[in-house]
Structures are given as C-alpha cells and as structure tokens.
Structure 1
Amino acid sequence: MKLRRLIAEVLCGAVAAMFCLTGCGADTGMMDAANANSVAGGDSSLPVITWKMGSTWGSGNIHYTCDERFTELVSQLTGGRFTITNYPEGSLCAANQLFDYVQNGTIQCGGDWGGYWSGKDTAFELLSTTMDNFSGLDYYTWINQGGGLECYQELYGQYNMTYFPIMINHAESGIRSTKPITSIADMQKMKIRLGGVLAGRVAQKLGINITTVAASELYESLQRGVIDGGEFSTPCSDDSLKLQEVAPYWCSPAWYQSAGVNGVMINKDAWDALPEEYQLAIQTAAETCAGEQLARYLWMDFEATEKMLKEDGCIVTEMNSEDWATIRKTCQEIYEAEAAANENFDMVYSSMKAYREKADTYRDMLKDYSWGFNYDDYDAKSQE
C-alpha cells in the first residue's frame, strides 16, 4: 500500500515537504492538476491536497503546538502530498465559531477541546474532561481499547463531522487563588473562574460563585481582583500564562477536571472525499500525536511544578477530607441527573462506566502500583 511505504520512509528519516495554502472561504482543498504534477513530479497517483485547520487556541498557546504537531505528522506520513495549514484562534474565526466553520465546511478541520461545545450538547464535555473520574491513562485506554473512539465519532457525526483525539493530559493543576483554599466554605467566599458546564452545576449546588473569564484575560482578572481564584489547565499550561505571579496559592488536585482531551474535528464531506490512504494518515498521525503528548505534557508538568514550588514560591493547599467526600458525591449526582436527561450524555457516560467496571477490579488489586507512589508516602503508610 502506498501510504504504508511512505510511513516506512518517514520512520527511516525521510524529510517531509510543507506547502502553503492560499485563499479563503469554503474550498475543496484540492490543487489543480498542473500544480499537483509540478509539486509531486508526476510520480504518484495520489493527489496533492491542502487543507485549512483552525484552532480554539491562540498562537504561542501550548495546546496550539499540539495542533501543529498533528499537521506535521500528516505531511510526513504522506510524503508532503497532503498538507494541512494551521491557523491560530482569531485568524480564521473566533474560538466559539470554529465548530460551525468545520460543520458547514467553511474550513476542513479544527483543533478543539470538546467542552467548548457543551452548550450544543453536554455530552461533549464528557469527551473532553471528567470531574473526579478518569485519569489521562483512563482516557487513553478507553479511547483506544474500550469503545471511546466510537463515542466521539457518534456524537461529532451528528454534526457532520468525524473526530480524532490528538492530545490527552492528566489532571489539571487545581485552583490558583489569591487567598488559601482548604474547604468548600473558603470557596463560597470567593469569585472563581471554573471551566465546564457540569462543573459549574456542581459549584452552584455547593454554593460557590462561578465567574466566566476568558483564558486570555485570566491573569489580569486575578491581578485586578475581578476574581479571587481560577483554573486554566495543567502546571505547564498555567506557567505559560504566569498565573503564579498573581495567584500564589495553589489548591490541588483538580476535582473539576481529572483529565483532559483535545482533538481534531473534521468536516465529514471533506473526510469522505479523501483517498483511503490519506484517511489512514490522519488516523495514524492522531494516534501518534496523542501518545507523544501523553508523555510530553506530563514531563513538562513535572518541570513546571518544580519551578513553581522552588523558584516562584507557590503555596500548596489541600481540601479537607470531609469536603472532598461532599464534592465527589455531588459530582456523581450531577452526572447521574444529566444521564437521565440527555440520551447522548447517557451513551458516553454508560461507556465510561462500563470501562470503569472492567478496569477498576484490577486497579484495586494493584493499589499503589496501578499509577505509582512516592517512596516517602509509602514509607509513612508502612509505619502506620
């Protein structure tokens, strides 16, 4: 198969060529025959295709680099015959317009975080994050082995799209705040920026005042006292915004987002028009990118955490155990209520619960060894 030969060449160190896309508005992405023959030298029956990929992330955002890595892999895997040009948030459309742009075929694809589309269907939130539930490794395993990918295809398919996860990260940092947080009562006295529709419902049920603030305005809002606390993403992502400079307190872990998934949504008509070889290239690039990012983000989080604690003077706080139990119970109640009200949410949530039923037996047997332990903690437990 031509693509498999190309993949082998890439893995042996073949250099990929990148081609620029010009023009705007809806397009097929297909180059004319003369240009295709010029670029490819006329030595392949596969067409030369260029696509546009918008993003919910701005240029320089750490998540945007993942979008760029995905398109780089697609080009490499097709010998440069299929290229996708990245456009940061705002250059083609606003972040909240990206879904419609891809659905309608104005552009062929877009890099997203599904939680942004929760207003269309709350099931999108489960495809992008969970409260007090999945870890990054759970998402990775569920997507690739537990039927998770089918849930993405089903939900996005209802909107004339196909979908592939390209980045999975572990739990978010937690809430960065200007005052310490050790209880629900502390949060009830604060204005907090918290992402996610369902997390907002949990917060409301707990009596916490949630305020909407764009990520680009988070630093200034904390600095000016518009909000008292907020979350963005994992430690390396938070560090890219320098949130620790204006919010030295760090309440961890992040019950509201125990893991996260970013992906690429692809217009279904554009997808169907691709040769099978290029469809395989996209799937392979997405799988490769997701595996790379799972390790890359965690390593960067290690480094960012060390920097924040040793150099930036962050002060870590924890919620008391009684309030943690209340939060966990409330999260489950909100999930169960939404599953009863939304068929799509129930589809995804049921698949996740089926995964947990299969995984948790062995996870429980492994105890500390299912994810790992710190030696100091292990020694302390053995002496209790």
Structure 2
Amino acid sequence: MKVKRLMAGLLCGSLGAMLSLAGCGTADSGMMDAANANAVAGGSSDLPVVTWKMGSTWGDGNIHFTCDERFSELVSDLTDGRFTITNYPEGALCAANQLFDYVQNGTIQCGGDWGGYWSGKDTAFELLSTTMDNFTGLDYYIWITQAGGLDCYQNMYSQYNMMYFPIMINHAESGIRSTKPITSLEDMKSMKIRLGGVMAGRAAEKLGINITTVSASELYESLQRGVIDGGEFSTPCSDDSLKLQEVAPYWCSPAWYQSGGVNGVMINMDAWNELPEEYQNAIQMAAQICTAEQLSRYLWMDFESTEKMLEEDDCIVTEMNSEDWQTIRDTCREVYEEEAAANENFNMVYSSMNAYREQADTYRAMLGDYGWGFNYDEYEE
C-alpha cells in the first residue's frame, strides 16, 4: 500500500494550510459535528473536532512513552487543537500484549508500539522494529524515508486492518547488563539472559545461550533477585530510566542483538479512512517530525546517560573477543536467511533491507571513519 509522502521541505508551507482545515466526520469515530467543533475550538472551520485514544506498550514514565506523547502533541499543534489524541500508558486501557488486537478491532483508534512484540503473529514485524547485527538507526531512517521501507510497514500492518507510521528511531541498544562480567560466549552459556526478539532468541539458541523471558517492567527486580544474571532493555538513556545499573553493574557492549530500533503508531484502518485528508496529512507530518526529533534526542540523551553511568554509577564495561563476534555475526545472518526462506512476509522485508544495503554499502565503505565518525583518542599515541 502506497502512502503519500510529505517531504521535509513542505513542512512550513503545509503548516498554514493545516491550521485552517475544512471537512466532516461522525461521532462513532470520535468526531463532533461542525457546530460543536466551532464551539469547542472557537474557530470557523467546518472540519470536526476529533478525539482519539492511543494506548501504548510502554508504561507511564518510560522514556518511550514520552515519544508517544510527543507525537500526539504534534498532531494537535498541526491541527490548531482540533484533532487531539489522548495517551494512555501500558495497562491503562489494556495490557501491552493486547494492544495490537485492540487497535486492529477498533476498540481504540491507535496505539504506540514496538513491532517485535507482534513477532508471534508474523516474524516480519520484528524486522520492522529491530535487526541483529545489521541496520543502524540511521540506516532505518534512510531506508524508511528514501528507499521504500515505509511501504513494507504499510504492507504488513494493512494485513491486520491497520496503517502504520514510525515515530521514533533509536540507535544500537546499550548491550547486556549483568551481575557478573561477560567477556566471551562461554560466559553467557553459564548465565540466564533476557533478550528481546524472536530472532535474537533463535540466534542465542544456536550460540548455546540460555534465554529467560522477563517483561521490561520486571527486569530490575529479576536482576536484583537473581532470577536472571543479565539482560537488555534498550539504549543507555532508556536503561537509566529503569536504573538497571543499580542491580547490574557490568555492561557488555555493543548490542549485537539489536543494532537499531523503531517504534511507531498503529492506526485502525476504519478510523483512518474516516479522517479528513487534512487530518491524515497531519498524522503523517507529525510522525515525520517526531521521528526526526527523536533520532537526535535519544542519541544525545544516550551520550549523557553513558557518561553518568561510567563516572557516577561506576559501571564496568566489558567486551568479547573478535572471534566470538564473528561467530555471532555469522549466526545472526544464518538465522535471517533461514527465516527468509520459510516466511514470505519476512523475505519481503529482508529483501528490501538488503536492496538498501546494496545501494548504501559501497559509499559507506568509502567513507570509513568519516561516515559515523571516529574518536580522536583512537589515533593519539
């Protein structure tokens, strides 16, 4: 399914038009009639006031939930307050694992998610939310906005009566935080580890790592009580929001199991189709703005949190040897190729990602250190 793309250069010109909207809607979709809209909004537009509910896979106070809230704020700003989306944290409307069905069935109009949670429905959803040892956050951003990636999201979610727009892209996760040091694959084989993602679980099984399922909300306590010896959540600033370093001082980096990530908003297709085109445009624009903001915001907060964890919280960074890393890399690719051969949807997304890499990798290699960058102290004697 093709979706109209609003280019960044159109933002300023489109904003004025969005602030003087015109159209109609129904009460069942959360819309008021034009007369009530004028009374509430105090404007002269014939377009209705729209009120939606947005559930979330993230709890109140979780740093990811603030991104859901920012998206809703932008939608309101772009429509002069006529289109409002109220955010509800995980558990307020439904449990995190129920959110997909709530949006698909129209119980609520939209939900903030991480696609990996729906891997049980189709493993292709995981590629739309994270990759093992593959895409960076910047790769995701370019693939989605320039190389046809957005069509993969629409293709997958439309099979379940939903539209989808990324609203946050983060860079590689922190790595595994543990109660004892990890310096090799052998160390992990003797530990109970929490890893997110079906594909990462399959890779871990091939590598001989014992994976234990623990929800994000129980991660701190599980580390504290010894239910698990190590685990991951997200990037440094997200881990810091859960204070994982208090119970897991060792930090094995980088995060091969999630080298980049995407969160987004699922939108019930019927609710979407009932929106005036101007409101649909506002959603797309809000998603684009939010994604661009978060791409830098999260990384800057990661810089700050990393410095705090190392200098104030006394985290101890460990790493594995190059031979183990090559084993991990080969295993991750093997898992992906096996799933691509077994699942047509997974192959559709994976093929699109590989096509992007074929286009990008030549110049990426030429750039070397001048692509992502380098640290001066690496070259100082």
TM above 0.5, yes or no, is: yes
Q: Residue type of the partner of 2:171?
A: H
What letter corresponds to residue 117 of structure 2 in structure 1? Y
Measure, in 2, the Cα distance between the counterparts of 1:82 and 1:256. Answer: 38
1:266 offset after TM fit, Å? 0.3
From 7, 28, 39, the counterpart of 2:15: 7
Question: Residue 195 of structure 2 aligns with which residue?
Answer: 194
Shift of 1:46: 1.6
1:132 alignment partner, SS class: coil
Q: Which residue of 2 aligns with 1:75?
A: 76
CA distance in 2, matches of 1:299, 1:9: 33
SS in structure 2 at match of 1:51: strand
The offset of 1:27, in angstroms, is: 4.3
Shift of 1:375: 0.6
| Residue 236 of structure 2 corresponds to residue 228 of structure 1 | no
Q: Give the whole-Å Cα distance in 2 for the aligned partners of 1:252 and 1:40.
A: 50
Cα distance per residue 1:228-259 (max 9 Å; x no partner): 00000000000011100110000000000000
Alpha-carbon distance, 1:36 to partner: 1.6
SS of 2:98's equivalent in the other structure is helix
Deviations 1:250-298 (A, max 9, x none): 0000000000000000001111111110010000000000000000000
Q: Distance in 2 between matches of 1:145 and 1:34?
A: 41
- CA deviation digits over 1:147-185, x for unaligned, max 9? 100000000010000100000000000000011001110
Which whole-Å deviations, capped at 9, do the CAs of 1:335-384 have from their partners, x for residues lacking one?
A: 0000000000000000000000000000000111110000111346xxxx
Query: CA separation in 2, counterparts of 1:256 and 1:379?
Result: 31
Q: Structure 2 matches for 1:322-341, cutoff 5 A?
A: 322-341=323-342
Give the length in aligned residue pairs: 364
Whether the 8 Å contact between 2:34 and 2:46 is mirrored in structure 1 is no
Q: Which residue of 1 aligns with 2:373?
A: 372
AA paired with 1:134?
Answer: F
Q: Does the aligned pair in 1 maintain the 2:127–2:350 contact within 8 Å? A: yes
- Report the TM-score when normalising by structure 2: 0.93
Moved segments of 4+, more than 3 Å:
3-6
Report the CA distance between 1:37 and its aligned residue.
2.6
Partner of 2:66: 65
Identity across matched positions, percent: 82
Structure-2 residue corresponding to 1:103 = 104
Local SS of the residue matching 1:98: helix
* Closer, same or farther: CA 27–223 of 1 in aligned 2, 3 Å: farther
* Residue matched to 2:38: 37
Match of 2:128 in 1: 127
Partner of 2:175: 174
Shift of 1:4: 7.2
Indicate the residue corresponding to 1:245 in structure 2. Answer: 246
2:205 counterpart residue number: 204
- 1:88 Cα deviation from its structure 2 partner: 0.7
User: What is the CA–CA distance in structure 2 between the aligned matches of 1:65 and 1:306, rounded to whole Å?
Assistant: 22
Match of 1:23 in 2: none
Which residue number in structure 2 is paired with residue 295 of structure 1? 296
* Letter in structure 2 aligned against 1:7: L
| Consecutive unaligned residues in structure 1, runs of 5 or more | 15-25
TM-score by length of 1: 0.92
Distance 1:240 1:56, change over 3 A: same
Question: CA 1:316–1:27 in 2, change beyond 3 Å: closer, same or farther?
Answer: farther
For the residue of structure 2 that corresponds to 1:313, the secondary structure is coil
Aligned to 1:358: 359
| 2-structure distance, mates of 1:375, 1:51 | 49
Q: Determine the C-alpha separation between the residues in 2 that align with 1:9 and 1:150.
A: 26
Q: 1:325 to 1:39 in 2, by over 3 A?
A: same
- In structure 2, what residue type is equivalent to 1:201? R
Amino acid at match of 1:64: F
Local SS of the residue matching 1:265: strand
**Structure 1, 118-127 or 39-48: larger mean CA deviation:** 39-48
* Matched-pair contact (CA < 8 Å) for 1:6–1:78: no
- Contact kept, 8 Å, 2:106 with 2:271, in 1: the verdict is yes
Query: Does the CA contact (< 8 Å) of 1:27 and 1:107 recur in 2?
Result: no
| Deviation for aligned residue 1:34 | 4.0
Partner letter of residue 297 of structure 1? Y
Take 1:237 and 1:160, find their aligned partners in 2: how far apart are those partners? 31
SS of equivalent residue, structure 2 residue 363: helix
Give the distance between the partners of 1:31 and 1:43, measured in 2 at CA. Answer: 14
State the 1:6 CA deviation.
7.2
Partner of 2:8: none
Q: Secondary structure at the match of 2:379?
A: helix
The 3-state SS of whatever aligns with 1:155 is helix
Partner of 1:106, secondary structure, is coil
> Contact (CA 8 Å) 2:168, 2:295: kept in 1 or not?
yes
Cα 1:120–1:312 shift into 2, 3 Å? same
Q: SS of the counterpart of 2:141?
A: helix
Q: Which residue of 2 aligns with 1:273?
A: 274
Check the 8 A contact 2:74/2:286 in 1, yes or no: yes
Per-residue CA deviations over 1:73-117 (Å, capped at 9, x if unaligned) read: 000000011111111111110000000000001100000000000
- Counterpart amino acid of 1:280? N
Shift of 1:41: 3.0
| CA distance in structure 1 between the partners assigned to 2:14 and 2:354 by the alignment | 39
Runs of 5+ unmatched residues, structure 2? 1-10, 20-26
